[in-house]
Each structure stands twice: as structure tokens, then as C-alpha cells.
Amino acid sequence: MTNTLPVLESLVLAAVLFALGLICVLVRRNIVFMLMGLEIMLNAAGLAFIAAGARWGSADGQVMFIFILTLAAAEVSVGLALILQMFQRFKTVDVDVLRRMEG
């Protein structure tokens, strides 16, 4: 039961997912896709926590995943709301156009 989850593979998968998410954030100009990239990165981190928690037999990993899940949900809802606002005001979802906000 303890060794059913292959730790190394899971971590590699998490790393790959994280890299994909990062690339998505970096190369996409559409802010919706960037948000999706962020979600992927968050989930990659969550996967890493699960794997590590299983490896050490500790519930902390799963607790952290719950946290991440909550965080991701909150982030998406706030993020999407902001995006909607921005789209209404600027009629675009392109971050390079939005840089005049000087954020």
C-alpha cells in the first residue's frame, strides 16, 4: 500500500506540468491562457505535495493540496472577475496592450 505511488515518476510529472504551465504563462499574450497556465502550475505543485505526502506517509501533503485547491479556486474567481472588468473597459485580453496600466 505504501509504495503504490511511484514517487519519482510523480515528481517528474509534476515538474513537466509546472514547466508547461510556466511556458504557457510566458509565451501566451492572451490573459485567459495565462490564467490557465497559472492553474496548471498550481496543480503541479499540488501533485508534488501529494506525492511527497504519500512518500513520507504524512497527511500534511494532502492538507496542503486542499489549501492549494482553495487558493486556486479563489484565484480563478477573482482573476476571471478582473479579466471581465478589463475586457469591458479595454476591449482586449492581450496583456501586452494592457501594459499601459504600468502595473
Partner 1 sequence: MLHLLWLVPLLPLLGFTTLVLLQRVLSRTATAIVGVGSVGLSCALALAIASNFLLAPPMGGAFTQTLWTWMQVGDFAPSISLRFDALSLVMMLVITVVGFFIHLYSAEFMAADRSYLRFFAYMNLFVASMLVLVLAGDLLFLFLGWEGVGLCSYLLIAFWHEDPHNCVCGRKAFIVTRIGDVGFLIALLLIFTELGSLDIHTLMQHASAQWPVGSPVAIATAVLLLAGALGKSAQVPLQTWLPEAMAGPTPVSALIHAATMVTAGMYLIARTHTLFELAPPVLLAVAIIGVLTLLISGFSALAQNDIKRILAYSTISQIGYMFLALGVGAWAAAIFHFLTHAFFKALLFLSAGVVIQALDEEHDIHRMGGLRTRLPAAFWSYLIGSASLAAVPLITAGFYSKDLIIASVWSSPLGGPWLWAGAVLGAFLTSVYIFRSVFIAFFGEPRTLVGQRPRARALIALTVLSIGALVIGFLEIPDIFGGGVHVLSEFLQQTLPRSAARPEPARVEWLLELVTVCISIAGIYLAYRLFLRRKPEAEALASTEDANLLRRFWGSGFGFDWVYYRVLVGPYEWFARVNRRDVLDVFYNTLAAISRMLYGMLRQTQTGNLRWYMGVLAAGGVVLVAIVVLT
27 vs 69, beta carbon nearer partner 1:
27
Shortest Å, Cβ 2 to partner 1: 28
72 Cβ contact partners less than 8 Å away, ≥ 6 residues apart: 39, 42, 43
91 vs 99, beta carbon nearer partner 1:
99
Shortest Å, Cβ 31 to partner 1: 8
Shortest Å, Cβ 97 to partner 1: 11
Q: List contacts with partner 1 (CB under 8 A).
A: 22, 25-27, 29, 31, 34, 95-96, 98-103
Amino acid at 24: C
| DSSP-assigned letters across all residues of 10-57 | HHHHHHHHHHHHHHHHHH--BHHHHHHHHHHHHHHHHHHHHHHHHHHT
